[in-house]
Structure 1
Amino acid sequence: PISQGTAKGVTAAQLAALGCRLCLGNTYHLGSRPGPELVQRAGGLHGFMDWPHNLLTDSGGFQMVSLAELAEVTEEGVRFRAPHDGREMLLSPEASIAIQNALGADIIMQLDDVVSSTTVGPRVEEAMHRSVRWLDRCIAAHGRPRHQNLFAIIQGGLDPSLRTRCLEEMTRRDVPGFAIGGLSGGEAKDRFWRMVKLSTDLLPPDKPRYLMGVGTARFGSALVPWGSLQLKNHQFAKDFRPIDPDCSCPT
């Protein structure tokens, strides 16, 4: 994830050489600083990063969960107090799309009402219905539909009926792709996979799907042909062997 317009620890050329063809940028952080106006003047996020391949920006909605103590959610949008300077910022569906239009990513996300996957009760249903309403506002606000692909985000928590209703509503909208949201927040794996299967079974087969929030590399988990390695485990502290002896990739 790119929170300030640059990948941490590697150059854009190194990322490309590793075979990366899609980078994710965080709309909330990029909208706070360096700001969409500056990025747009630099040729969008592609020019700002000197990145010729694909970019995806999230909507900023995830910060409702990760910065919950700094955020207030209403029908209007999400009101944040920026953690780095205390400045108040309203992220509405229209504002999220305007920022993402300025950033110029190839894939952009609707603003959704995000609740933790372990939340139960009426808040989950409220968030699902609001996400559908906000999708319509995002579609109406989208100024570059021929150049940027707006994805809907499926919500509904771990409730099969709510998730099904959200899928039915959102797949009626003519959007280029869909993201499966509201998962991977601490729920049991069997419940996670049931919701993923329910979602994929009901999504259009001819449109791309994006399963959100399942990345593990940043937490020290390396995927290898025989499973996964938890690199932060004590047993690897003094282990100088390569992650995969049959791969020439630099690790």
Structure 2
Amino acid sequence: MISGVLISTLKAQQASVLQLRNWRTLNLRRTVVSPRIAHLRHRHLRQKSIPVAANIISEFRKANVRCTPSGEKIFKQAYAKAPANTFSCSWELYSPLWTTIRGEDTPDSLCYRNLNVSSARQWRSRQAYDICISFKVYKVWEALYTNSNIFRQLIDDQEKDCRDFSRCCMALQPLWLWLKLVVKEGLVERGDVDQLPEPSMLRDVVIGSGDPPDAVDLGLVNPAMCH
């Protein structure tokens, strides 16, 4: 008859063997899985570590709009210390650029009062200047919406805010003001902007089917004209 001590010893040895097997299996799994986990972690950290300026330049490039040399310099200067979540809020995008441009002499600036940019650009009035800049901004707006996931989310948020909360002109929203700075100060190639498709060709817009309230929400129509 087997004694209780012997039974206890055998059970302890069996448990030790099972534990060793489990340990080896776990280590084997770690050996197999860890390279993939390491790759995913590396890719995640690499994405997070991409500077905001580089992201901006890259997203414009996706929309077939190149940044000028002075534009790249200003973007890098403006967002040198910007946090990774800058793209989560349009004000976080606008404020550093506005602050930087105020203290910089942008060589490609297309200001209303600066008529030395080109002899062919003699603005008849401030209104003509504003209309021209706004149209260029709108072309870039729609090009980014079509080609950039980052900016599509920002644009959706801005347009939704205009419809649901502020009910104000889109041209007063921070993302629009940011793009206006980009275009007006020559941070992107104007030739590329001019070559962009007409905005109506980019989104599902049916010409002639405009809804007056929506037009007001986008700030493209004077509310007085809708009555």
Which has the larger Rg? 2
TM-score normalized by structure 2?
Answer: 0.25
Using CA pairs under 8 Å that are at least 6 residues apart, name the structure with larger relative contact order, 1 or 2: 2
Instruction: Tell me the TM-score normalised to structure 1 length.
Output: 0.24
